[in-house]
Amino acid sequence: MSNLLNLNNIDAGYGEFDVLKNINMYLDKHEIVALIGPNGAGKSTILKSIFNISDIKSGKIFFEENDITNKQTYELLNLGISYVPQGRINFATLTVKDNLLIGAELIKDKKKVKDNLNYIYSLFSVLKTKRKHLAYSLSGGEQQMLALGRALMDNPKVLLLDEPSLGLSPKLVKETFETITKLAKTGLSILIVEQNAKQALRMADRTYLLENGQIALEGNKKLLNHPKIKTIYLGGQI
């Protein structure tokens, strides 16, 4: 087991409600892996299981060959796993800069925090321009940048992204995917849940298709040509 992140035989859900059934999947270093499928298939629950905000009924999750099943959130952050949930969740009444600094709470080296802040500003110049603005005043696209920037402030090794393009304009969707690709080239490993199946398949190194809480298909970019993907998820077109 030499992969960066492994999910082995995971059954998970919420209380008595079961969602995932026997999930086996992995993420390698420097990879983008996409999770696609219909609403309610369990895509987001996979991310929540890794980040310990769903109930794992059976199975194990390993990160760098260490068992992280049910570890506390602060422990996962310390290990290098960051999570950006669906819905562009920010601290509305704090400034952009303060929101970003919250992402670096676990870093004690002030110079490192400053360097990380400058790095985020280099990725998202609008956040530097609006660093003194309150988060609630940002546009939807800017709030997504802020949520992503905060998750990057603690130098993660793995980034879990849940529907980053949801509700964004086509232009901002394109920019978001370009940023994700750029981040992967810096060495970050990314596991992304995405409603835009076509964009996800084109961007990802590998893709898992989920249906009814189970993995129905998995593969590389050649999945774009799979009859089921083309017919159901891409409307017969690529």
pLDDT of residue 2: 67
Tokens of 217: 């298909």
Would you tell me which CATH number, out of the four given (3.40.50.2000, 3.40.50.300, 2.60.120.260, 1.10.3720.10), belongs to the domain 1-80+157-238? Answer: 3.40.50.300
Query: How far apart, in whole angstroms, are the C-alpha atoms of residue 157 and residue 91?
Result: 24
Residue ranges of the domains in the chain?
1-80+157-238, 89-155
Residue-by-residue pLDDT tens, the chain, 238 positions:
468 999 999 999 999 999 999 999 999 999 999 999 988 999 999 999 999 999 999 999 999 999 999 999 999 999 999 999 987 789 999 999 999 999 999 889 999 999 999 999 999 999 999 999 999 999 888 998 899 999 999 999 999 999 988 878 888 888 888 889 999 999 999 999 998 888 889 899 999 999 999 999 999 988 888 888 877 766 644 4
